[in-house]
A = this chain, B = another copy of it.
Amino acid sequence: MVKVGVIGGSGYTGGELLRILSIHPEVEIKWVTSRKYIGRRISDIHPNLRGFIDLKFTQLSLDNIDMIDVVFCCLPHTVSMNIVKKIYGKTRIIDLSADFRIRDPAVYEKYYVKHMCPELLDKAVYGLPEIYREQIRGAMLVANPGCNSTAIILSLYPLRKFLEKSFITIDIKEGSSASGRNPSLSNIHAERINTVRIYMPMEHRHLAEIRQVLGIENISMTAHAVGMARGIYATTYIFTENLPSEKDLWKIYREYYSKEYFIRIVNRKYPPYNLPDIKGVVYSNFCEIGFKVDKGNGRIIIFSAIDSLIKGAAGQAVQNMNIIFGIDEKTGLDYPGFYV
């Protein structure tokens, strides 16, 4: 049994992580911290977990690090590195913030703040199993990817050879839980329902990790908020002179991902189910990828859908944990989502 601690377990990502861990057959949850809810039952804040986790939120104590095999850090960006700095080396760390995703401290500083422990950036492994599985195996510190980054990188990584001299722009549609459980004007129900609005017109922070992994700079992104609670839908437009056929793309993706359990290449015959859809992946750890070649316009269109809280956060974190501890990677994540 892997002994687990969770730092910052009261938000949506923390709740999703606890849900997965609570039914993971090889995990024992030892403690869960939350500054806001110390002493409150976890299931009072995550009512769906009643009966599945019988603990109270505690204060973070470094003394408790010894009793665990791995800690999941679900703190906000820029807060997380303060904690990681103190516990690095004492236990395995899976950090769900952005603090260790970027190799270059100057790039991190450009998108966030000055890094507090740049010496750890090199030690961190980017936790995208479909690409970095081998490195994750031995990692002491895993930087769990951003939700948008996961959807985008998984769908574009196999196409790198088409990207280099192309014009590439990504249009993101994002559910509301991605903005967290802290109340603010922009995530009030009445503000967020029945609309589409720009969340980040350009230079979204996730571009830093996307560029780093894809190894290109010529990629841009615009993020929209839409009125669903979960899910990331990424539509990528690639204008390239070197236009492949849809058959070519099929071949590339199948070759690349044929053994990847959580990747589904979607190209069905009949609408409305012919292409990736949030409903195909929501409440699961799967990623749906699809594509069209728009010859007349010299355009490849790539579609990618994930559940933002699972494959985009907590599910992927558990996938990383499974890899680290030599457990079958699918363990605790091997169930379909819900269509309705």
Given contacts A197-B272, A299-B220, contact A280 B340 (CB under 8 A): no
Tell me, yes or no, whether A237 is within 8 Å of chain B by CB: yes
How far, in whole Å, are A284 and B197 apart by their CA atoms in the complex? 17
From A57-65, A87-95, A262-270, give the one contacting chain B: A262-270
Q: Is the CB of B336 within 8 A of A278?
A: no
- Bitwise, A299-340 to B at CB < 8 A (1) or not (0) is 101010100010000000000000000000000001111111
Q: Is the CB of A336 within 8 A of B22?
A: yes
How far, in whole Å, are A225 and B225 apart by their CA atoms in the complex? 14
Given contacts A12-B190, A235-B171, contact A303 B198 (CB under 8 A): yes
B-contacting residues, A251-270, CB 8 Å? 261, 264, 266, 268-270
Tell me, yes or no, whether A50 is within 8 Å of chain B by CB: yes
Most buried by B among A22, A44, A194: A194
B-contacting residues, A152-183, CB 8 Å? 167, 169, 171, 173, 175-177, 181, 183
How far, in whole Å, are A185 and B301 apart by their CA atoms in the complex? 25
From A96-104, A123-131, A290-298, give the one contacting chain B: A290-298
Q: Is the CB of A227 within 8 A of B226?
A: yes
Most buried by B among A48, A177, A218: A48
A45 nearest CB neighbor, chain B only: B273
Q: Is the CB of A220 within 8 A of B297?
A: yes
Most buried by B among A229, A297, A339: A339
Q: Is the CB of A228 within 8 A of B195?
A: yes
Q: Is the CB of B283 within 8 A of A338?
A: yes
Q: Is the CB of A222 within 8 A of B237?
A: yes
Q: Is the CB of A340 within 8 A of B309?
A: yes
How far, in whole Å, are A44 and B277 apart by their CA atoms in the complex? 12
Tell me, yes or no, whether A15 is within 8 Å of chain B by CB: yes
Other-chain contact of A23, B190, B225, B233, B335 (Cβ < 8 Å): B335
A234 nearest CB neighbor, chain B only: B196
- Bitwise, A99-135 to B at CB < 8 A (1) or not (0) is 0000000000000000000000000000000000000
Q: Is the CB of A189 within 8 A of B218?
A: no
Contacts of A273 in B (CB 8 A): 44-45, 47
Knowing that A23-B335, A183-B183, A193-B193 touch, tell me 11 more A-B residue pairs with CB under 8 angstroms.
A12-B340, A23-B336, A45-B273, A50-B264, A173-B224, A189-B193, A197-B277, A201-B301, A201-B303, A202-B297, A239-B239
Chain A residues within 8 Å of B, Cβ to Cβ: 12, 15-16, 19, 22-23, 44-52, 167, 169, 171, 173, 175-177, 181, 183-198, 201-203, 218-220, 222, 224-231, 233, 235, 237, 239, 261, 264, 266, 268-284, 286, 290, 292, 294, 296-299, 301, 303, 305, 309, 334-340
